[in-house]
Amino acid sequence: MPLVTREMTLSEIISAYPDTRAVFASNGLPLEQTNHLFLTALTVESFMSLRNINPEIFLKLLNDTAEASSEVKILYTDETPVVRTDFLGYVVCPFKHLYKEAFEKKLHGHYDRTGEKLVSFVPMGCGGPDPYEYIWDTENIDELPDAIASIGFGNFWRKDFRERFLDNGKFIAVERPPLQDVFRELEDPLKQYTIYSVSAYVILVDHKKLGDLPVPKTWLDIANPIYKDNVIISGSDDEINEVFLMHIYKDGGEEALKNLAPNIKATWHASQMAKAAGSSMADGAAIYVLAWFFADTCPNTDHISIIFPEDGAMISPMYMMVKADKAERMKPVTDFMTGAEMGAISAGSKFPPLCPEIPNILPEGTGLKWFGWDFVRENDMKVLAEELNARLAKYRRKCGSVNLLKPSPSKKGFKRMMVKG
């Protein structure tokens, strides 16, 4: 039975099969300028007559397009799924492709065994438009995926999101075996978030540029005035590394934030730091703060050292949550995220996994620097990061530093997708 018939209205067809918009547009229908009531009243039969179109060819084209657009893939990486997403998964850029390959194989294996498609959206780009950017802001749990994985202290750590969907038990952590001692404090005591891996931040020191200055021993040392204009931190034009900034504030208060401001020479992407450290680049610095993965890729090894501070490598969480009433259905996804295969992918890129089956990859004698769950829950982490960035920018202006930092706007209301189901 054909999906599209002569008696259907154009509005019905376009609503059910959005890809058919291109077919109508290429046959002389300017959809952007066409009144919706006209589309509701106009049938395919009338449109073909109006445009003097060959019915046999046009109906086949419409049906072929409708059939193709109605097929639901398992894993989407660029375009938004045509149905509600079961799993939304953000992972760090360095191992996205390895993750995508292994995860897609897992999804297809589950489909082959059960006939069930767990539709997933795993964006492969690093930055750029995100159709789910404001989904955290919904009031309706049915608009959220059944499981969510993300990185850092973003919108899913906001207090209002926690109050709407975590504190009432609608989203929960994943059941898993006991963690190794080094990761034990990362187990959420309220069983809301599941941290399955971490991005470990270290200090990369260029000894030629450091000269006679001492190597920083702790993270708070970086706020020492002796390092004025000699620190480059991972970040962008509008925000500095959130984990570093919050730890400086937590450990040293407002005074440490003020002292840090003149020390910051620039905010760079971590890959740029890895290339500059130990080189003759004039715009480099003596001290770099970046993820261990990137520090480990630095090619200029003669004059650099990777420092794990005495108070531990700062960590940014890679975490996951699942709807309580969908936890059993989503086990193929959550088991993969917390399992050995994912753990091996993460460990191979210097992102320590919490999977007990994977040996601890941290250098002997080093540890992790974690905020603690009390601090995380007492603060709105996303808002705190924005506020600290704004205050740091003010201090940088006062001390004459070039101001590249400004607070990120907080926007209400996510752009809802047109989906079926």
Supply the pLDDT for residue 419.
Answer: 30
Mean pLDDT of 231-259: 92
Tokens 């989904």, residue located: 135
| Distance between CA atoms of residues 129 and 76, nearest Å | 15
Tokens 């398992």, residue located: 74
- Whether the CB-CB separation of 222 and 263 falls below 8 Å is answered with yes
Supply the pLDDT for residue 70.
Answer: 63
Supply the pLDDT for residue 30.
Answer: 78
Supply the pLDDT for residue 418.
Answer: 28
Mean pLDDT of 241-246: 94
Supply the pLDDT for residue 115.
Answer: 86
> The dihedral of CA 364, 365, 371, 373: what is its sign?
positive
Q: What is the DSSP string of 365-406?
A: T--EE---HHHHHHS-HHHHHHHHHHHHHHHHHHTT------
- List, for residues 23-79, the tens digit of each pLDDT value: 988 888 877 666 777 788 889 999 999 889 999 999 999 998 887 766 667 888 887
Supply the pLDDT for residue 371.
Answer: 97
Supply the pLDDT for residue 421.
Answer: 28
What 3-state class would DSSP assign to 193? Answer: coil
- List, for residues 128-175, the tens digit of each pLDDT value: 778 899 999 999 999 999 999 999 999 999 999 999 999 999 999 999
Mean pLDDT of 350-374: 97
Supply the pLDDT for residue 407.
Answer: 37
Lowest mean pLDDT, pick from 190-199, 338-347, 385-394, 412-421: 412-421
Measured at the CA of 326, the angle between CA 136 and CA 340, to 5 degrees, comes to: 90
Write phi, then psi, for 58 (nearest 5 degrees).
Answer: -70, -45
Kindly indicate the confidence band of residue 3, based on its pLDDT and cuts at 50, 70 and 90: confident
Question: Is 70 exceeded by the pLDDT of residue 408?
Answer: no
The strand ranges marked E within 244-387 are 264-268, 287-291, 304-307, 313-323, 368-369
Question: Is 60 exceeded by the pLDDT of residue 410?
Answer: no
Mean pLDDT of the chain: 89
Mean pLDDT of 339-360: 97
Supply the pLDDT for residue 402.
Answer: 54
Question: Is 90 exceeded by the pLDDT of residue 378?
Answer: yes
Lowest mean pLDDT, pick from 19-28, 51-60, 89-98, 254-263: 19-28
Instruction: Kindly list the distances between the CA atom of residue 159 and the CA atoms of 66, 156, 166, 240, 272, in Å, as whole numbers in the listed order.
Output: 42, 8, 10, 22, 34
What 3-state class would DSSP assign to 77? Answer: coil
Kindly indicate the confidence band of residue 413, based on its pLDDT and cuts at 50, 70 and 90: very low
Question: Is 70 exceeded by the pLDDT of residue 122?
Answer: yes
Supply the pLDDT for residue 400.
Answer: 75
Supply the pLDDT for residue 414.
Answer: 35
Supply the pLDDT for residue 194.
Answer: 98
Element spanning 293, H or E? helix 292-295
| Distance between CA atoms of residues 219 and 207, nearest Å | 18
Question: Is 80 exceeded by the pLDDT of residue 126?
Answer: no
Question: Is 90 exceeded by the pLDDT of residue 2?
Answer: no
Question: Is 80 exceeded by the pLDDT of residue 382?
Answer: yes
| Distance between CA atoms of residues 193 and 185, nearest Å | 13
Supply the pLDDT for residue 415.
Answer: 36
Percent of the chain with pLDDT over 70: 92
Alpha-carbon Rg of the chain, whole angstroms? Answer: 26
**Residue partners of 37: CB distance under 8 A and separation at least 6:** none
Instruction: Kindly list the distances between the CA atom of residue 197 and the CA atoms of 347, 353, 361, 381, in Å, as whole numbers in the listed order.
Output: 9, 4, 12, 19
Comparing CA positions, the residue from 120, 93, 95 lying closest to residue 105 is 120
- List, for residues 389-399, the tens digit of each pLDDT value: 999 999 998 88
**Residue partners of 177: CB distance under 8 A and separation at least 6:** 356
Of the two residues 215 and 412, the one the predictor is more confident about is: 215
- Whether the CB-CB separation of 64 and 124 falls below 8 Å is answered with no
pTM of the model: 0.79
Burial class (CB in 10 A: 0-12, 13-18, 19+), 149: buried
- Whether the CB-CB separation of 256 and 265 falls below 8 Å is answered with no
Percent of the chain with pLDDT over 90: 72
